[in-house]
A and B are shown apart, each in its own frame.
Chain A
Amino acid sequence: MDSSTSHSKKIPRRPLLLLATALASWIGCAFYSLHFNPDVTYYRHGYLLKHQWAEKMTREHGAKTIVYGGSSCEFSIDGERLLSNFSEPVVNYGGHAGMGAVMLTEAALSDVRRGDTLIVALEPGLLTQPLGNEPILAAQFSFAMHHPNWVLHPTLGVGRENWFQAAASLRPGGYLAFTMLGKWLRGQPSYRYQVSDFHPSGWAETPVRVPMTIAPGHGPELSEGGRQLLSNLSRWCQTNGVRVAYALPWAYCPPNEIANYRKLNAEFLADIMTILPVLRDDSLGADPDAGDYADTGWHLTRTAAERRSDEFGRQIQKWDMWTREKLDLAITALPTQ
């Protein structure tokens, strides 16, 4: 058979129809993800506020402190209170834990300047789970913020995605699509939080209350990706004249599980200390008072956030760090459950 007979001139319509359908669906999904996804809309507003506050702090105070992590950070550190009570210019760069450790770090780094202090307050789970397969919310948020480089060319070189992967993430995904459907069927608002929950420094509070029941959990040690991320961050901070430390977020823990949870956190901190200094907090991230929490075991109420902010202010002013000996003593002092 020569080449002329091995090809047909007839156009195969089915592949073209299916490709066109996929492309049109993706365009619709991308438009929705960037403009109507409630997570993205809420956090885009929040990050613009955080950015404005960061610029204001730099302008008025020179060096500032940026604290970042997932929503546990967002709901716990009140920058305005720290400024008025401790004269500490602090920006709360807490975001959605669903964006992943890489995205949260990249977004925070965008406002870090030479001479600043950077406090990593990522939830342990974000650093103990494997990195590399970044959540779709990360790409959606970076594109919505007009910073696609956060996923395409991350400053720390961890969790890099190619254009195709990033573009393919501009879709809602099954979880969001059906959660939205459920909310619509039940007549609930599309998102639990409102942009009015944000305060200018980036701290947020919510009037929603949900009973607390279970303790959070995480692996005892950093994942390979988590270790690489923190190591690269440490090097970057050193190169760029930024002081850096880790602060363990507070989480609700039922009283009968508190010793075990503190031990788990202490093991995790011991691992972190091999890379970054860790702010000393004797509670070891476990809080048995359910009344301190709003709608999840990570989101503090206003009163608890005030207490947490005051503790945080004292810690960064004294630059009080855990040492291995003190941490070992704290572990030994914990009762066995």
Chain B
Amino acid sequence: MNFAESRFWGLLAAGMTVILLLRWVLGTSLGKRREDFDKAALLSLGLFLLICVSWVTFLIFLLVAVLSYVGLQWILRQDQRSWHRYLFVLIPLQLAPLVYYKYANFAVNQVLGFDVPSLRHLVIPVGISFYSFQKVAFVVDTLAFKQPLPRFLDYLNFAGFFPQIVAGPIERRKDLLPQMQGFRFRWLPEELNYGAERIALGLFFKLCLADNLAAFFDGASTQNAYEIWLANVVFGFRIYYDFAGYSLIALGLASMLGVRLTLNFASPYCSTSMIEFWRRWHITLSQWFRDYLYVPLGGGRVRWWAFNVALVFVVSGAWHGAGWNFIFWGAVHGLALIVNRILGRRMKLRPAAGWMLTMLTSFCAWLGFYETRTPVLAAKLKTLLTPHAYGGSALHEALNNWSSGSGFVVFCFLVLTTMVLVLEWQSVARRDTPYYYLCRPPVLVALVILTVILAPGKSNGFIYFAF
């Protein structure tokens, strides 16, 4: 279910055509069952698209979905006082496929030192991290707020809503389930307009910015601090526009179907503190960790709040992948948040200084995302932290490298990215609405033209499909 591939749009168009034809042929004979028909059609479309990704993806999804529903149904029949005990059984079961696919190789071959070749070639089923978390949240919310078990059809539509199933946003029961319970194919102009804007912006982010930046990303240097910083910046922009692009397309697609999803990114590179950064970056995952890990641990109201923050970010790092590099990424962010919280109470930074510090920290931490080889990661980090690595000779060498080959092309894309970031900043500063100016019709028209002209021939998968 790669929104950047023509195959996805072809399959979606084919599926929608069949649904609309059936709807038209059956017409008034459906009567009051039209709503059920629409729900069943939406579910069939989602499952069909999932099968087109791969049978394994489909079957694992179905396993986790059915297990969660049946498990919850069983718990609800038990004595209310013992629910929490059963939760400790159901949640590990829900997460078991995720743990197996994501961490079996790391744990067995790398940590324990065994040699099981079959584990090395495990392919993570697309979306498993996202839908597993969504289903855990569903089970917890249902029990915590004593909500009734929905109809299986509504539940499956909630769990397998195709625009968001493979890479989020991770939706909550209270936000998505009621929309699924009242789902109908409605073609409301304002929703279609809103959806088209988000899809166009998402495609620009993905195809024009992220895919081009990916083509020119060069993370080879370990000795030159300037080149490592450039790699961090290029990767930082790439991953943001890749994931934010995907999330916007998901939002747009859902909107066209009359469903509102949560905004997953809100211009995070406009943040003036790390706390703000995490309110704007991958919002639904941050909220998930806050509500289902940080708060149960005691949150920020206990004396050991710093430990809670550190633990949440280390777990968040591990969620992204099994490797020390992701732990490093999580640890840097955790530490930065702790420092931000302690110092933020005592000293007030100017917004520009806060922004600079936030960007320095987040772009430095991206090293842990793209550099999976631990010794190379350590070497690069050492270079970044060594003052004499910033000498004139290193700068001269970096400028020489950038002036040859595709340096000018990279420069142009960074200029384009900066212009987009300025519009994002203005949207946040003046309107308090992320991407407001980017979604204005004249700007969108320009972005569509730029996408058509500049999108590279080779499409890349979305980075977060691997998580």
Stretch at the interface among A162-170, A221-229, A273-281, A305-313: A162-170
* Neighbour of B200 across the interface among A8, A18, A134, A181, CB < 8 A: A18
Minimum Cβ distance to chain A for residue B454 (Å): 4
Closest to B28 in A: A3
Closest to B258 in A: A6
Q: A29-B453, A179-B408 are in contact. Are A21 and B196 (CB under 8 A)?
A: no
Give the secondary structure class of B's interface. helix
* Neighbour of A1 across the interface among B184, B412, B452, CB < 8 A: B184
Q: A3-B34, A135-B458 are in contact. Are A174 and B10 (CB under 8 A)?
A: no
Minimum Cβ distance to chain A for residue B139 (Å): 31
Q: Are B412 and A17 in contact (CB under 8 A)?
A: no
B117 at the interface (CB under 8 A from A): no
Q: Are B197 and A172 in contact (CB under 8 A)?
A: no
Q: Are A18 and B196 in contact (CB under 8 A)?
A: yes
* Neighbour of A6 across the interface among B28, B186, B208, B212, CB < 8 A: B186
Q: A8-B188, A12-B196 are in contact. Are A174 and B413 (CB under 8 A)?
A: yes
* Neighbour of A25 across the interface among B192, B449, B459, CB < 8 A: B449
Give the secondary structure class of A's interface. helix
Complex contacts, B215 vs chain A, CB 8 Å: 174-175
Stretch at the interface among B54-62, B69-77, B172-180, B440-448: B440-448
Q: Are A12 and B445 in contact (CB under 8 A)?
A: no
Q: Are B445 and A21 in contact (CB under 8 A)?
A: yes
Which B residues from 144 to 200 make CB contacts under 8 A with A? 184-189, 192-193, 195-197, 200
Complex contacts, A146 vs chain B, CB 8 Å: none
Minimum Cβ distance to chain B for residue A22 (Å): 5
Complex contacts, A175 vs chain B, CB 8 Å: 212, 215, 406, 409, 456
A178 at the interface (CB under 8 A from B): yes
Q: Are B409 and A169 in contact (CB under 8 A)?
A: no
Minimum Cβ distance to chain A for residue B50 (Å): 22
A256 at the interface (CB under 8 A from B): no
Q: Are A178 and B193 in contact (CB under 8 A)?
A: no
Residues of B in contact (CB 8 Å), total 39
Q: Are A15 and B453 in contact (CB under 8 A)?
A: no
* Neighbour of A26 across the interface among B10, B34, B200, B452, CB < 8 A: B452
A133 at the interface (CB under 8 A from B): yes
Determine which residue in A14, A174, A177 has the highest number of CB atoms from chain B within 10 A of its CB, and name it: A174
Q: A14-B193, A17-B445, A168-B6 are in contact. Are A179 and B409 (CB under 8 A)?
A: yes
Q: A18-B200, A175-B215, A179-B408 are in contact. Are A13 and B455 (CB under 8 A)?
A: no
Minimum Cβ distance to chain A for residue B411 (Å): 8
B457 at the interface (CB under 8 A from A): yes
Q: Are B456 and A173 in contact (CB under 8 A)?
A: yes
A182 at the interface (CB under 8 A from B): yes
A333 at the interface (CB under 8 A from B): no
Closest to B404 in A: A213
Q: A14-B197, A15-B192, A178-B408 are in contact. Are A171 and B452 (CB under 8 A)?
A: yes
Q: Are B455 and A173 in contact (CB under 8 A)?
A: yes
* Interface size range of chain A in the complex: 35 or more
* Neighbour of B456 across the interface among A17, A18, A174, A182, CB < 8 A: A174
A7 at the interface (CB under 8 A from B): yes
Q: A135-B458, A168-B6 are in contact. Are A177 and B197 (CB under 8 A)?
A: no
Q: Are B413 and A25 in contact (CB under 8 A)?
A: no
Which B residues from 412 to 452 make CB contacts under 8 A with A? 412-413, 441, 444-445, 448-449, 451-452
Complex contacts, B456 vs chain A, CB 8 Å: 136, 173-175
Which A residues from 28 to 81 make CB contacts under 8 A with B? 29
Q: Are B186 and A7 in contact (CB under 8 A)?
A: yes
Closest to A133 in B: B458
Q: A17-B441, A179-B408, A179-B409 are in contact. Are A8 and B455 (CB under 8 A)?
A: no
9 interchain pairs, CB-CB under 8 A: A3-B27, A7-B187, A10-B189, A13-B189, A15-B193, A21-B448, A133-B459, A168-B6, A175-B409
List 20 extra interface pairs beyond A3-B27, A178-B408, CB under 8 A: A3-B34, A8-B189, A10-B189, A12-B189, A14-B192, A14-B441, A18-B196, A21-B449, A22-B448, A162-B6, A172-B454, A173-B453, A174-B409, A174-B456, A175-B215, A175-B456, A177-B453, A177-B454, A178-B412, A179-B409
* The 6 residue pairs across chains A and B that have the minimum distance between CB atoms: A136-B457, A12-B192, A15-B196, A14-B193, A25-B452, A174-B454
